[in-house]
Structures are given as C-alpha cells and as structure tokens.
Amino acid sequence: MVSNDFSSDIPTKMSTKIVIAGGFGAGKTTLVGSVSEIPAVTTEAVMTEASVGHDDTSATPQKVTTTVAMDFGRITVDQQLIMYMFGTPGQNRFWFMWDDLVRGAVGAVVIVDCRRLADSFEAVDYFETNRRIPYVVALNRFDGQMDYTAEQIREALEVSTSVPIVEFDARDRSSSGTVLKTLLRYALSTNAAAAPVG
C-alpha cells in the first residue's frame, strides 16, 4: 500500500512581498528588471505633453516612458522562499496606489537618485511615518558616481540611524541582489517584520 502523505518529501515553499519605491526616474523599473527571473511585468507608458510641468526630466533627458501603475517581478531566493517585487509609480499623482501596493509587504526598498535628493523626500517620509514596514535606502549610482556620502544623504533625507543605506547600480543584477538581501536581513532583524501589515 502506498502512503498518501508526501509532506516530508516536498519542501514547503513560502512567498514574500517587497515593495520597490522612490521618486520619478530613480531606477525602480530597472532594479526589478535586472533581478527578476521572469520577464518583468511593467506598466510603462510613453510620456506625453501632459507630463510637461509635472515630471522633471532634466537629470534624465533620455527617459521617454514612465510607470503608471506598477512593476512586477519574481526571484527565487532558495528552495523555500520566493520573493515577489512590486515597483511603485514615482510621480505624486499616482501615490494613491501606494497603500494598496504595500499591503502585506514584509519590507521596502526606497531608491534614491543622488542627483535629485528632493525627489526622494516624500518616499522616505512615507516609510518613516509607516513604521510597520521596515525599509532600506538604496543609492543608485548613475554614471558610476556618488556626489555625497551615505551619511550626508541620511542627514539630508532625515533617515533614522537604524535604517540601512546601501550604494548600488540598478542595472547590475548582482548589485541589485545585494540591495534585496540587505532588505531581507533587516526585515528579519526588526520586530516590525513580524507584525501584520494592512
């Protein structure tokens, strides 16, 4: 007779949700696309004249599309853990979606374009205010350079001293992976990670 109990043979898979947030053009879609093991789902739309006066592309003149809903990607961390990434839209006019996107998340990455620190204030403030969701700050190195130190940016953005800040290149899979590992370690080490969200 064959036993129907296969539970000991099949490893239990768990999934977790993280949010990739930040200002307009900071590198959220790029990060999701660089690490996702599936083709990233994006809601990129061509920027039109309606964005003139709303979206500052002076630091990113080559940017011709923008996320209008969310980005989605998946990465298998190990045999037991699958991580689902949800990238938020960066413009203020789409921020009404943030509460829904962060519901159930174990943590968030706030991507900062150091050339445009002011664009990051509201994203950082969102997670500083919503203390139930642990977050890390990821400084995207555009053109491979940083104009400020991590501590200068921490002070400028008024980020709590307990929040990890990491430099990375959103185009590089390994570099982006380091950001996600930093977030997971931080989320596991905080009491906030154990509290239900949403």
The model's pLDDT over 70-93, given as tens digits with 9 standing for 90+, comes to 788 999 988 888 999 999 886 666
In this predicted model, what pLDDT tens digit does every residue of 50-64 receive, in sequence order? 544 555 555 554 545
Q: What residue numbers bound the domain in which 18 lies?
A: 14-50+62-191
Q: What is the pLDDT of residue 14?
A: 87
Residue 162 belongs to a domain? yes
pLDDT at 5 over 70: no
Q: How many CA atoms lie within 13 A of 74 on its CB side?
A: 9
**Number of domains into which the chain is organized:** 1
35 within some domain? yes
Residue 90 lies in a domain: yes
159 contacts 123 by C-beta, under 8 angstroms: no
Q: Is 55 part of a structural domain of the chain?
A: no
Between the ranges 69-78, 86-95, 112-121, 165-174, where is the mean pLDDT highest? Answer: 165-174
- Here the CATH number for the domain that contains residue 122 is 3.40.50.300
Q: For residues 81, 174, 179 and 26, what is the CA-based torsion angle, rounded to 10 degrees?
A: -120
Task: Identify which has the larger pLDDT, 24 or 192.
Answer: 24
Q: Does residue 7 belong to any structural domain of this protein?
A: no
Using a cut of 0.85, tell me whether the model's pTM lies above it. no
Residue 198 in domain: no
* CA triple 34-42-136, angle to 5 deg: 55
- Statement: residue 67 has pLDDT above 80: no
